[in-house]
Amino acid sequence: MEELSVEGLEGSLKTKFIGKEIFVFESVSSTQDVARELLDKGVSEGTVVLAEAQTKGRGRFERNWFSPPGVGIWASLILHPKFSDLTPGSGLTTISLTCSVAVANAIRKVTGLRTFVKWPNDVLLHQKKVAGILVEMAGESIIVGVGINVNQEQFSESLRDNATSLMIESGKEVSRISLIGEALHQLEYYYILLKEKGFAPVKKKMRNISAVLDRQVIACFNGKKVVGQAVDVDMDGALLVRLDSGFQVRVVAGDVSII
Ligand code: BTN
């Protein structure tokens, strides 16, 4: 098993500011919480926290994120986006989508596997979830959590239908170090693009690799459930779903499943 270390990662970094400071831990509760503690101590933008294992990894809506040792990428990235600096589409959802595009791209580049982005934060491979993004506010900053299932050989019965890993789908072990290097590179590229040009160019890229746009979906939000066609994502990152009646709903925060 390839172990993560700051020295080992240095050789794979191609970034200007993301990952210039990296912390690697054996086991933490959640890299999100460690990043928050570091932020309180005043670390710089682009700082990355990685762990071999998490005992309380979390996803959106406080769901558990299974983070066993040595087989995944469990990372948190500190950004100071200064929201007022961002052009239209400055919400957290646009950041979540932007990071999902970056991670999907990185996986494609390193493995050749065709990943897709499922609104608002999932990366899918062969219709199963291989990676997830969690964006949390921390004062003026944000902490972007990235979880990628890399070398798991199998999943428990409860996860098997919905989750997969790069190893399961490719039949090969994937270098986490190479993938971290490419993921940070892509995250930096798309984050700068979002900051400088707004959400439009990111959205264009997302459209090409979207798992939901133009598809029939079930969207769950605000305790409601609707069925319709996912037609677009607006400049705030909200998903627009056209119902059979022709009425269009705007899903700001929620879950979608493809039917
Ligand atoms: C989701 O799919 O809902 C998001 C999953 C995000 C998981 C990552 S793993 C690293 C970071 N630490 C956490 O506790 N969560 C994120």
Residue of 134, 142, 162 best suited for mutating to test ligand 1, as the one with most atoms within 8 Å of CB: 134
Q: Report the pLDDT value the prediction gives residue 140, as an integer from 0 to 100.
A: 85
Nearest residue (by CA) to ligand 1, atom 8, is 147
Query: Tell me: the pLDDT tens digits for 31-59?
Result: 999 999 999 999 999 999 999 999 999 99
Return the pLDDT at 90: 52
Tell me if 57 CB under 6 Å of ligand 1. yes
Ligand 1 in contact with 105 (CB < 6 A)? no
Phi, psi values for residue 185, rounded to 5°: -60, -50
**Residue 53: its pLDDT value, please?**
98
Q: Do residues 230 and 215 lie in contact, with contact meaning Cβ atoms separated by under 8 Å?
A: yes
- Across the range 20-27, mean pLDDT stands at 98
Q: Give residue-wise pLDDT tens across range 135-147.
A: 999 988 999 999 9
Q: Write out the DSSP string of 133-165.
A: EEEEEETTEEEEEEEEE-S-S---HHHHTTB--
| 244 Cα to the center of ligand 1, angstroms | 34
Q: Please give the backbone phi and psi of residue 201, each rounded to the nearest 5 degrees, phi first.
A: -65, -30
36 and 42 Cβ atoms separated by less than 8 Å: no
- Beta carbon of 120 within 6 Å of any ligand 1 atom: no
- By percentage, how much of the chain surpasses pLDDT 70? 97
Beta-strand ranges (E) seen in the chain are 22-28, 48-54, 72-79, 115-118, 122-125, 128-138, 141-149, 216-221, 224-233, 239-243, 248-251, 255-258
Per the CB < 8 A criterion, the answer to whether 97 and 117 are in contact is yes
Predicted confidence at residue 86, as pLDDT, reads: 55
Q: Return mean pLDDT, the chain.
A: 94
What pLDDT digit, counting tens, does each position of 65-109 carry? 999 999 999 999 999 987 655 554 457 899 999 999 999 999 999
What pLDDT is recorded for position 85?
Answer: 56
Location of structure tokens 């037609």 = 231
Instruction: Assess whether the C-beta atom of 73 lies below 6 angstroms from ligand 1.
Output: no
pLDDT of residue 173: 97
Q: Please tell me whether the overall predicted TM-score, pTM, comes out greater than 0.85 for this model.
A: yes
CA of 73 to the centre of ligand 1 (A): 10
